[in-house]
């Protein structure tokens, strides 16, 4: 691309943002899933899958945007971490 300038990648700031968003997403997914599981376990699974499926197309388009790619990466990792924590909690309890 002629005339297109891309600055250096802000790794330190980006990774910090990704970690913070990931932690917030993991805590939110875990606590919301845990609360729904007390009502009915299948409700927790259904709501999590519907929410992830609904957000996926938008997140997929944002994955290459310079600033939001860090948020998207952290959020995706946080959701997966929250799901793993829910599975571990479900099998342990």
Rounded distance between C-alpha atoms, residue 72 and residue 65, angstroms: 10
pLDDT value of residue 9: 83
pLDDT value of residue 82: 96
pLDDT value of residue 3: 53
Task: Give the residue extent of every domain in the chain.
Answer: 23-92
pLDDT value of residue 65: 85
Dihedral sign for Cα 19, 23, 24, 26, please. Answer: positive
- Which pTM was predicted? 0.85
Low-confidence ranges of the chain (pLDDT < 70): 1-5
pLDDT value of residue 36: 94
**Average pLDDT of every residue of the chain:** 90
Rounded distance between C-alpha atoms, residue 56 and residue 50, angstroms: 10
pLDDT value of residue 47: 94
Buried/exposed code over 58-87 (b: 16+ C-beta within 10 A; e: otherwise): ebeeeeeeeeebbbbbbbbbbbebbbebbe
């Amino acid at each position: 691309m002629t005339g297109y300038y891309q600055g250096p990648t802000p790794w330190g700031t980006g990774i910090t943002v990704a970690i913070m968003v990931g932690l917030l997403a993991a805590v939110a997914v875990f606590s919301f899933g845990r609360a729904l599981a007390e009502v009915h376990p299948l409700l927790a699974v259904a709501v999590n899958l519907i929410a992830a499926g609904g957000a996926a197309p938008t997140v997929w388009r944002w994955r290459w945007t310079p600033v939001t790619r860090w948020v998207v990466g952290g959020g995706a990792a946080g959701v997966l971490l929250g799901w793993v924590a829910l599975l571990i909690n479900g099998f342990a309890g």
